[in-house]
Every structure is written in C-alpha cells, then in structure tokens.
Amino acid sequence: MSDDVIQFGPAPAPVLDIRGLQVATQSSPAKPILKGIDFAIAPGETLCLVGESGSGKSVTSLAVMGLLPKGSLKATGGRIELEGDSLLDVSPTRLRDLRASRMAMIFQEPMTALNPLMRVGEQIEEVLVMHQRGLSAKQRCDRVLEMLDQVQLPDIERVYASWPHQLSGGQRQRIMIAMALILEPKLLIADEPTTALDVTTQKQILKLIKQLQERHGTSVLFITHDMGVVADIADRVCVMRHGEVVETQPIDALLRRPTTDYTRQLLTAVPSLRPRASREVTDREIVLEAIELEKRYGQASRWARLAGKASAQTLAASDINFALTRGRTLGIVGESGSGKSTVARCVMRMIEPTGGGVRVMGKDIASLGRAALKPHRKRIQMVFQDPFRSLNPRLTIGTSLIEGPVNYGTSHEEALARAAELLELVGLPKDALGRYPHQFSGGQRQRIAIARALAMEPDVLVADEAVSALDVSVQAQVLGLLDDIQRRLGVAVLFITHDLSVAAQICDEVMVMQKGVVVEYGPASRVLGAPEHPYTRSLMLAAPGRHWDFSEFRPLDRVFEETPTSNSTTTVYP
C-alpha cells in the first residue's frame, strides 16, 4: 500500500497537489461550491474522494481537468499543481496539451461518454492525432489495437471498427479507459466510473483499472459514493461534505477509526450484505401471485415473414412463479437485462404478458381488458426509481396525491384530508401539500412518491429500484420508512433491485433472475446467506466491500467465499 511507500525512503513529490482550492458559481451573488480544499496524491497511489451528492467531489475533478462548465462555475482561489504545472495559471493551449498526456479522465455514464457518430477505434486514435503528431497512420492504428488488447477487449479488430451503440456498457467503459491511458498519463481521474454498471462488470472494470495502474505506475483519483468500492480499491480516502474536506485517512484507519461524526454516519448507513433476521409470518393470505408468467418480445416482422426468415424473438421473462403474502416483502434481484423490471411491469399490467397468469387478491388480471382492469389497478401501485422525474413538476404535491383517489370516486375533501395524513405518515409536514416537487430533495420526493402510491390504499406496492438513485444515508431512511409503513398498514411489497445489500436489508424472500429466468427463489436468509446457484454466488462475490461490516467498523468475521479446492462454499453468516 502506498502509505508504506510514503513511510520508507524520502517522500516522493506528489503527482497532484491541491491547496486551498475554492470554486464558486458565477451568478451574483456568487455561491461557494468548494470552500478551500486540500489533498495530494502520491505516485502510484489510489485516493478515493467520497461524499454524498452535492459534496463537491465531481466539481473538484472537473476543476483539475479545467472542465468546469463555462459561465456557471469558476475557480476563485487556491492552487492545483500537477507535477509542477500550476493548472489554474497555465495557458489554455498548455492545459489542452496536458489533458490526455499527463492527466486523463473517465466518466460515470459510458453509454453517453462516447461520440455516437464516430467509430470507437477512431475516437481512441484521435488522442494520438492530437498529441503525437509524428506518428504515421499505421503506427497509430497499431498503438490503438495494442491498447484495446490491454483493456482486455475480445476481437480487437472488430471492436476497432465498431460504433459505440454496438458495444455493451462494460465494453464502452473499457474503450474510455483505453482512451484515457493510451498516452500513459501520470494521473487518472475516474468519476464514478462503475456506478452505471452491473456488479459483475464493475468488479472486472475495477480490477482492470488496478492492473493498468500497476503496470503504468499511474496515480488514480477515484470519485465514488459507494463505500464498498472504496473499501476494495482505496489506499487513502478523502471524505467530502458541502464543499469541504471532512477527513483524510488511509483506508484501514478510516474504516476502523473514523474521526468525525459525519464519516461515522456515512459508514453506519452502508447496508450490509448480511440478510436481516427473518420476520414471523403473521398472515398467510396471498395478495399477489404469478403463475408461469411469460413475456416475449419481437413478433416476427412482416418483412422477415415475407423473406421466410425465422422470427427473432426475445424471451424477456419466462416461467416466473411466485406468491407474495400480506405484509411481506419479496425482492427480485438481478443485473440489467435479467428481466426483473419486465416482471414488475407485467404484474402492474403496464405491458401485456404473453403467457401465464397474474393474480391480485385471487383474481387473474393477466388478460383483462382496459375497463375490466380498472377496479384492480388501485390494488397494486408503483414507486419508481428516479424521484426527480416521477412527479409532475407542474402539479402541487396535493394535486398529485389526490389524483388517483379522486379518479376512483373519493370526494375531493376526503382525498385531501387523507393526503395530509399520508404526508405525516411518510414524515413530511402537512403544508407540503401546497408546494411543488422542485422544492423538495430527492429523499423527500421519494417519500412523496410512496405517499402517492399509498393514497390508493393498495394491497401491493411495487418498488422498482426505489432507493437506487438516493445517497446511502437517505437510502437507509427510505428503507426504514418502507419497513415502518409495512408494519403499520400490512401492505405487501415487491421490491426490484440490482443491489444485493439493499435486498438483504428489506426482503423476507428473494428471487434471483438471470436472462429472463428465475435461478434461485427462497427466504432471504438462505438465498443471500447460503446461495446455491452459481449465478447468485457470482453476484455475491462481485458485491463491493463484502469483507467489511461498515456499521460495526470492522471486517466481517466470516465472509462468503468460493473455495478454490472444492466446489462447496464456506458459509457465511451465523
């Protein structure tokens, strides 16, 4: 670890040194975003910058690259030194030369970070065209192919000539990494580079960054909100909050002995992979049941049929069976493309299932028409992933909350009174009724979305990644709220998530899906405690930070491991 490197021998000059950096908005009056932050990164070191949304961690990285959005943010004080170049003072030309050659950056969203109208090989090559003018076209092409090989992409010649939309998210992030590292920069800034990826892909990408870092001796400034990732990759950690550095420590010290309350809070809120104690079954009434549910996409097109081609169909979900009883929570877990959201949408009848049945309170709704479906719609309500887009910005909270009940014949006054009660239930003041969504934070909006769903007095709540867009501390609060509501109202919850530790916190039963089929289904304590299916195991092994019990500030005593000698697994939790 690099703190060893720093301790023995003369301390090497830092690659990046930030002193008293201040960034403010260019509005009047100027609002400070970064209030004088300090940190340095040693050669070959990985420094993680952690913090919740709004802490200023991304602004810090953009300030280093000189990419602060023009006209809205501006560095107003302090110094940023990259191996002796003062980045806030150099000319724009010099700054352009330094980018990619001495410092490079990869971003969060690989789906949008590449130019969709340019072949990916050409996009990597562009770096060489701009920074190494002496190379011939052949030499450039060879360099790019070599780099594609280094980021472990298969079939590199084909990838070279691909368009971005032909590659998966993980592959695109590999392209971004190849582009960033082709000139062997001294500093790599990675801004949430794996947040948009599945856990198994995330694991591969993190490993790749580590390997290349060791090979090229790169220093990495890694920005993330995920403590699990931090525990896995960091040498040192810098915790930020409200534009200030709260605490900087080597990783082990930070996880074991956080010195500030804020870090302590942050760690305590991290959900653990340990499944919660199973709850007693109080009610055996089945409220939602799926029987051999199937959803097939892509009926053969007319052209294909004319040409006599076989129909290209995708089975998004097949042979899905589950039963959800009153007051319980069933989690559907899986990576993108596993079919978990398809199941949720079929159950909600937002899309038509192509086979099987969905029973809500014993009544099969899978093939009901629009009118016949209406009385059953209110029994099953949904909470969506993104609270910033799931509430109509032009409607007051009150209007949003009463719209459903009024559609089902409740009087306006009654619905409004009920809405006020619900707001109190989800922990918001009554006067929120007259306000608009933009006046609330993400966590508050998700509470409103839950109240909106509850206003219909449903038997089942479908939560599709309902806490995935929230910061961990807010996530913990919202999960607590769901639990509380379930106890009070006895509503059953179908909880869709990609995050195993979130599932471990809230689910009684867990169903693991892969490529449209259920691979494992049972009590959460068994599925997440002693998984049997290889896919579930691979998910568990890919979960970041699975060695740590963050809220107890120590490593877990017993960790789920795949033992290399036998195929059995050592278990796990007591």
Partner 1 sequence: MFSYCLRRTLAAVPVMVVVALFVFLLLRLSPGDPAAIIAGDMATPEQLDRIRETLGLNQPIYLQFFNWGGELLRGDFGTSLMSNLPVTQLMAQRLEPTVSLALLSIVLSVVVAVPMGVIAAWKHGSLIDNVVMSVSVLGFSVPVFVIGYILIKIFAIDLGWLPVQGFKRVSEDGFGPFIRHAILPSLMLSTIYIALIARMTRASMLDVLGEDFVRTAHAKGASEKRVLFKHALRNAGVPILEVIGTGFALMITGVVVTESVFNIPGLGRLTVDAILARDYPVIQGLILVTSGVYVLINLAIDLSYALLDPRIRYQ
Q: Which residues bind partner 1 (CB under 8 A)?
A: 65, 67, 71, 96-101, 104-105, 107, 109, 112-118, 126-127, 130-131, 163, 165-166, 176, 179, 303
- Tell me whether the omega of the peptide bond preceding residue 572 falls within 30 degrees of 0, making it cis: yes
Nearer to partner 1, 99 or 445 (CB): 99
Nearer to partner 1, 104 or 317 (CB): 104
User: In the bound complex, what is the minimum distance in angstroms from residue 302's beta carbon to partner 1?
Assistant: 11
Q: Which helix (H) or strand (E) holds 261?
A: helix 261-268
Amino acid sitting at position 291: I
Q: Which helix (H) or strand (E) holds 267?
A: helix 261-268
Spatial distance between the Cα atoms of 99 and 185, rounded to a whole number of angstroms: 9
Nearer to partner 1, 67 or 253 (CB): 67
User: In the bound complex, what is the minimum distance in angstroms from residue 30's beta carbon to partner 1?
Assistant: 17
Q: How many CB atoms lie within 10 A of CB 74?
A: 16
User: In the bound complex, what is the minimum distance in angstroms from residue 134's beta carbon to partner 1?
Assistant: 16
User: In the bound complex, what is the minimum distance in angstroms from residue 340's beta carbon to partner 1?
Assistant: 26
Nearer to partner 1, 91 or 563 (CB): 91
Residue 289's nearest CA partner among 350, 361, 353 is: 361
Which strand ranges, in their side-by-side order, compose the sheet holding 103-106?
A: 103-106, 187-191, 219-224, 46-50, 236-241, 244-250
Nearer to partner 1, 17 or 126 (CB): 126
Nearer to partner 1, 138 or 165 (CB): 165
Spatial distance between the Cα atoms of 382 and 364, rounded to a whole number of angstroms: 19
User: In the bound complex, what is the minimum distance in angstroms from residue 487's beta carbon to partner 1?
Assistant: 43
Do residues 356 and 534 lie in contact, with contact meaning Cβ atoms separated by under 8 Å?
no
Reading the block at residue 55, the tokens are: 């802490």
User: In the bound complex, what is the minimum distance in angstroms from residue 332's beta carbon to partner 1?
Assistant: 30
User: In the bound complex, what is the minimum distance in angstroms from residue 17's beta carbon to partner 1?
Assistant: 20
Nearer to partner 1, 125 or 198 (CB): 125
Nearer to partner 1, 96 or 526 (CB): 96
Strand partners, 518: 513
Strand partners, 296: 315
Q: What angle do CA 287, 337, 392 make, to 5 degrees?
A: 65
User: In the bound complex, what is the minimum distance in angstroms from residue 165's beta carbon to partner 1?
Assistant: 5
Residue 455's nearest CA partner among 489, 493, 495, 487 is: 489
Amino acid sitting at position 509: E
Spatial distance between the Cα atoms of 383 and 248, rounded to a whole number of angstroms: 37
